[in-house]
Structure 1
Amino acid sequence: MTASWKTRHRSLYYATAPEPDDPEIVPGATALLVIDVQNTYLERPARAGLSPAEQAHFDAWTPFHARMADVVIPNIADALSTFRARGMEVLHARIACATRDGRERSLSQKKPGFNNLLLPKDDDASQIVAAVAPRGDEIVVTKTTDSALTGTNLRLMLHNLGIRTVVCAGIFTDQCVASTVRSLADESFDVIVLEDCCAAATMALHDAELEIINMIYCNVIDLNAFKALLNKRS
């Protein structure tokens, strides 16, 4: 039998801890935050035109793209529908810079490698994927950092909205999602991470990060279990 969210993703720190209580989910004080589900992360070149080394790298990323298409994006769309149907707050975060050359970006986004992100705010690559795009007056924060709280006024907006619990979804589990979760926890928000609404480059990285952040910075819960908890309050 599959373990419940209360016993999954436990690190050694919490191996002997009692099962956590159900999180308090008050619809008027709970918001969904969708992090960095942007076009740039779903774009792929034609494999046939790549060198053997490039093809090997392409293939290494294929499981991530399959998870995004088959699991994460459909589940985030489901979560969005759930929150919207109940009139609950929905917020979005995206990485984008105000300048064409990205000169105002944080140091982490200027270092060479995967995290070197030049995403001017008006380019198609920086836009949120259409299937999970904002609707109406849903708030979108733009950041040049990993954490959605650092360098934005998201914390103030959540406070002004009366939000106490933030439900996080998006990518990448071990980077911007985890950084945002830690920041939210440090600001004394209750945090829930929807494990099947997130992805990292590999499932090993995804699972490892969930084990690290679970029970100290957040509760890691799958979407169906979260909806069941929410329905208890409805």
Structure 2
Amino acid sequence: MSWKTRHRSFYYEGAPEPDDLDLKPAETALLVIDVQNTYVERPDRSKLAPAEQAAYDKWTPFHERMQGQVIPNTRRLLDLFRSRKIECLFARIACQTADGRDRSLSQKMPGWNNLLLPKNEHASQLVPALSPQGDEITVTKTTDSALTGTNLRLILHNLGIKNVVCAGIFTDQCVSSTVRSLADESFNVVVVEDCCAAGTDALHEQELAIINMIYCHVMNTDELVAMMKLT
């Protein structure tokens, strides 16, 4: 099953297959969303209390996906895009203040989403394997959407970008929010499914079905590379 028929929700079960996308290099950008140190670094499990070990274990599939698929595949795309001089951009969650008083409400909510990531601290930095090179642009946001919380829309417009290829985390949160914002601004959006992850594979798959064919087209790395003739 190809990207043209995968990840279809109830709404699009009988829809015709889309044509191949015309992703001209000069009009296309890769956007890597929130692959930051805080999400991939882990404590020593043996030093955790039993309840903390249980939580640690629940997150193990996510970390395995990040190290085994998301980071390597995203690095592959970065290398290919850079070799063809296609724009590569990055977004990260980081607040301007030490106490996070400038954060949006969604990043002050109790629980896991209560994110305090001051902009200069190690935790808020992009992971080394996916760091910007040269004059590649990074936007800093305190919102889920990389478009809503930054001047990214203006940047993409000034660069002449019409198509945005999205990778990153979390599929059901910042990736989805960014994709929806981009679609609402009439960008053509591709989500690279094996360059993204959610807290669980079930959440990842569910969100792909929700956003596919209305806000974006979902495909994997090999399909994107073949369609853009980047090999």
TM-score by length of 1: 0.97
Aligned partners of 1:10 and 1:144: how far apart in 2?
31
Cα shift at 1:33: 0.1
The residue aligned with 1:184 is 182
Aligned equivalents of 2:47, 2:87: Cα separation in 1: 44
Residue aligning to 1:84: 82
User: Over residues 40-73 of structure 1, what are the superposed CA-to-partner deviations in whole Å (9 max), with x where a residue is unaligned?
Assistant: 0012111112222211110000000000001100
Q: Could you tell me how far apart the structure 1 residues matched to 2:98 and 2:105 are?
A: 16
Give the structure 1 partner of residue 196 of structure 2: 198
Give yes or no for the alignment of 1:36 onto 2:30.
no
- Any residues of structure 2 matched to 1:9-24 within 5 Å, and which? 9-24=7-22
Per-residue CA deviation, residues 157-212 of structure 1 (Å, 9 max, x unaligned), is 00000000000000000000000000000000000000000000110000000000
Cα root mean square deviation, aligned: 1.0
Matched residues in 2 for 1:23 and 1:56: separation?
A: 44
Residue 112 of structure 2 is matched in structure 1 by 114
Give the structure 2 partner of residue 216 of structure 1.
214
- TM-score w.r.t. structure 2 length? 0.98
Secondary structure of the corresponding residue to residue 99 of structure 1: coil
The residue that corresponds to 1:69 in the other structure is 67
Q: CA deviation at 1:24?
A: 1.6
Q: Unaligned stretches of 5+ in structure 2?
A: none
CA deviation profile, 1:136-164 (whole Å, cap 9, x unmatched): 00000000000001121000000000000
Tell me, what secondary structure is at the counterpart of 2:154? helix
Whole-Å separation in 2 of the counterparts to 1:150 and 1:213: 18
Q: Of 173, 176, 181, which residue of structure 2 is paired with 1:175?
A: 173
Counterpart of 1:20, as a letter, is: P
**Aligned positions, number:** 231
Q: Which residue does 2:224 correspond to in 1? A: 226
Distance 1:203 1:146 in 2: 20
AA in 2 matched with 1:213: I
Deviates more, 1:44-53 or 1:144-153: 44-53
Percent sequence identity is: 69
Report the 3-state secondary structure (helix = DSSP H, G, I; strand = E; otherwise coil) of the residue aligned with 1:177.
Answer: helix
CA distance in 2, matches of 1:127, 1:54: 25
Aligned to 2:209, the other structure's residue is in SS state: helix
Tell me what 1:25 maps to.
23
- The equivalent of 1:138 in structure 2 is 136
Q: 1:4 aligns with which of 2, 5, 10?
A: 2
**Stretch of structure 1 that moved more, 16-25 or 165-174:** 16-25
User: 4+ residue stretches of structure 1 with deviation over 6 A?
Assistant: none
Aligned to 2:145, which of 147, 151, 157? 147
